[in-house]
């Protein structure tokens, strides 16, 4: 099965669509009432609708007052549509549509739309809460197409807020696990032409299955990871994320599922002469490094005598070694594994690493969620699934 990123614009469009679907049933509702000579307003039924909205919103972490306001507005518009239709039928200007049973058919359909609308709102909430939402092109376009009522509805949508609820209970109530991932880090998370692949993508699909919910992949990036976390855009993030003190100060981390560190990659045959820092840091050694990240930081801190050259292009940096223009690069051991499998002539100099770091699942702080994720992960480690997924991703990940 192919895995893709969620589309935030589609989440918003689903909200608009369900509001339209709800109102589109009102001529049928009015037709029943017209045929049975019933009044448009049914206060008891309105109370049932609003109570159900509040109860469901609370479970989803949607601030219940803001959800209630939106549904009260939909009811107000529904009443008006019905009154207008009944007027038109009474005066003979229009013919009523065929009568459909209100209690057995129409209200269950309205209940179902209401549930789906709240779930759609839940998924779209980060977009709806953006400061510019009411004036976003999507909102303005819908207003233009849908007319006067839409402006008020957009106002009520823009006023929806999230409210804190324990993450695992919310995930189960929504039946969705929102997974933040970057799509730029093989063998853990890579986006190849819109299809997500990698060990962490496969793991996330399995984790969602274990929790009994649907995986939704939310696009994030290294610079925005913690901002997206704070903005409530995902429940967990899986992307080969290293545990750092900075991240752990805000988010929870699962147990480690990968331990690794910096290690040298060399031209095959030169392994034994370049497998320690002492050997590498000689005046005759040419070290190549990509600038800006932890690789450069490591080289600056540990290489004093060797000649260091910066190579800014990650796609060609390994060719520098292959073609003999550099002797060694020091990078993360997973990346070394990926390169030596994909590029003949390149070899890992030592099974050891110069540094040690852990990768883990980043998640919202909720004891129940942590327990569920760690319990699942321990199982996956025991069964060998974690190793198997990494091996398979290393065998198939694109090597640039």
Ligand X SMILES: O=C(O)C(=O)C[C@]1(C(=O)O)C=C[C@@H](O)C=C1
In the bound state with ligand X, the residue whose beta carbon lies nearer, of 111 and 368, is 111
**Of the two residues 25 and 349, which places its CB atom closer to ligand X in the complex?**
25
Task: Please identify, using beta-carbon distances, which residue of 26 and 347 lies nearer to ligand X.
Answer: 26
Residue with tokens 């969705």: 176
Does 395 bind ligand X (CB under 6 A)? Our answer is: no
CB of 134 to ligand X, least distance (A): 23
Based on CB atoms, which residue is closest to ligand X, 97 or 293?
Answer: 97
Tracing tokens 């009568």 back to the chain, one arrives at 99
Q: What is the closest distance, in whole angstroms, from the C-beta atom of residue 39 to ligand X in the complex?
A: 8
Three-state DSSP at 343 gives coil
Q: Which of 49, 125, 218, 252 binds ligand X (CB under 6 A)?
A: 49
- Cβ contact 182:221 at 8 Å: yes
- Site membership for ligand X, residue 247 (CB under 6 A): no
Tokens 């600056």, residue located: 300
293 CB-near residues (< 8 Å, 6+ apart): none
Cα separations in angstroms, 71 against 22, 77, 111, 311, 354: 11, 10, 12, 57, 59
CB nearer to ligand X: pick between 49 and 299: 49
Asked whether 362 and 248 are in contact (CB, 8 A), the reply is: no
> Cβ distance 87 to 18 under 8 Å?
no
Minimum distance, C-beta of residue 76 to ligand X, in the bound complex (Å): 8
Can residue 79 be called a binding residue for ligand X (CB under 6 A)? Answer: yes
**24: contact with ligand X by CB under 6 A:** no
Report the residue closest to ligand X, judged by CB: 78
The residue (of 107 and 216) whose beta carbon lies closer to ligand X is: 107
Span from 12-20, 78-86, 270-278, 310-318 in contact with ligand X (CB under 6 A) = 78-86
84 sits near ligand X (criterion: CB under 6 A): no
Binding-site member from 20, 45, 271, 273 for ligand X (CB under 6 A) = 45
Burial class (CB in 10 A: 0-12, 13-18, 19+), 398: exposed
Interaction of residue 41 with ligand X, rule CB under 6 A? yes
| Cβ atoms 363, 235 nearer than 8 A | yes
* Three-state SS at 288: strand
| 85 within 8 A of 26, measured Cβ to Cβ | yes
Give φ, ψ of 351 to 5 degrees.
Answer: -70, -15
Helix (H) or strand (E) run with residue 256 in it: strand 252-260
| β pairing state of 328-332 and 346-348 | unpaired
Quote the CA–CA distance of 190 and 181 in Å, as a whole number: 9
DSSP-assigned letter for residue 271: G
Indicate whether 14 belongs to the interface with ligand X (CB under 6 A): no
Q: Would you count residue 42 as binding ligand X (CB under 6 A)? A: yes
Residue by residue, DSSP assigns 86-105 as: HHHHHTTSSPPPPP--IIII
Nearer Cβ to ligand X (71/376): 71
- C-alpha to C-alpha distance for 200 and 217, rounded to whole angstroms: 11
Residue 274 binds ligand X (CB under 6 A): no
Tell me which of 3, 78, 113, 306 binds ligand X, using CB under 6 A.
78
* Contact pattern for ligand X over residues 92 through 111, marking x by CB under 6 A: ---------------x--x-
| Distance in Å, CB of 364 to ligand X, minimum | 34
Between 107 and 197, CB nearer to ligand X:
107
Of 71 and 298, the one with the shorter C-beta distance to ligand X is 71
118 binds ligand X (CB under 6 A): no
Part in contact with ligand X (CB under 6 A); list of ranges 39-47, 152-160, 304-312, 368-376:
39-47
Contact present, 85 and 27 (Cβ < 8 Å): yes
Instruction: Count the site residues for ligand X by CB under 6 A.
Output: 13
Between 46 and 296, name the residue whose CB sits nearer to ligand X.
Answer: 46
CA distance 237 to 400: 25
Q: Which position among 29, 81, 186, 205 is part of the footprint of ligand X (CB under 6 A)?
A: 29
Binding site for ligand X (CB under 6 A): 29, 41-42, 45-46, 49, 74-75, 78-79, 82, 107, 110
């Amino acid at each position: 099965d192919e895995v893709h990123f969620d589309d935030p614009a589609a989440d918003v469009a689903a909200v608009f669509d369900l509001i339209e679907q709800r109102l589109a049933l009102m001529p049928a509702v009015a037709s029943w009432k017209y045929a049975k000579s019933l009044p448009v307003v049914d206060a008891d039924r309105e109370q049932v609708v609003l109570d159900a909205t509040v109860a469901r919103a609370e479970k989803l972490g949607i601030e219940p007052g803001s959800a209630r306001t939106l549904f009260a507005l939909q009811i107000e518009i529904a009443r008006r549509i019905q009154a207008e239709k009944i007027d038109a039928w009474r005066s003979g200007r229009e013919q009523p549509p065929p009568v459909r049973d209100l209690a057995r058919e129409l209200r269950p359909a309205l209940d179902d739309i209401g549930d789906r609308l709240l779930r759609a709102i839940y998924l779209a909430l980060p977009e709806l809460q953006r400061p510019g939402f009411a004036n976003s092109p999507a909102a303005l376009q819908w207003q233009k197409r849908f007319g006067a009522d839409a402006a008020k509805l957009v106002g009520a949508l823009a006023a929806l807020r999230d409210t804190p609820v324990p993450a695992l209970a919310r995930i189960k109530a929504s039946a969705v696990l929102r997974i933040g991932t970057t799509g730029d880090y093989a063998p853990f998370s890579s986006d190849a032409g819109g299809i997500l692949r990698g060990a962490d993508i496969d793991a996330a699909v399995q984790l969602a299955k274990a929790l009994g919910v649907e995986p939704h992949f939310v696009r994030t990036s290294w610079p925005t990871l913690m901002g997206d976390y704070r903005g409530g855009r995902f429940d967990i993030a899986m992307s080969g994320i290293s545990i750092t003190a900075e991240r752990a100060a805000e988010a929870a981390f699962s147990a480690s599922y990968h331990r690794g560190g910096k290690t040298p990659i060399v031209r095959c045959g030169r392994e034994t002469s370049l497998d320690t820092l002492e050997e590498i840091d000689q005046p005759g050694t040419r070290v190549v490094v990509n600038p800006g990240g932890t690789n450069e930081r490591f080289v600056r801190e540990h290489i004093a005598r060797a000649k260091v050259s910066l190579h800014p292009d990650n796609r060609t940096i390994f060719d520098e070694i292959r073609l003999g223009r550099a002797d060694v690069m020091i990078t993360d051991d997973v990346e070394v594994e990926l390169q030596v499998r994909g590029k003949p002539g390149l070899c890992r100099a030592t099974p050891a690493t110069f540094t040690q770091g852990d990768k883990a699942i980043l998640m919202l702080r909720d004891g129940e969620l942590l327990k569920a994720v760690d319990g699942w992960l321990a199982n996956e480690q025991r069964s060998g699934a974690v190793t198997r997924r990494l091996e398979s991703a290393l065998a198939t990940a694109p090597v640039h």
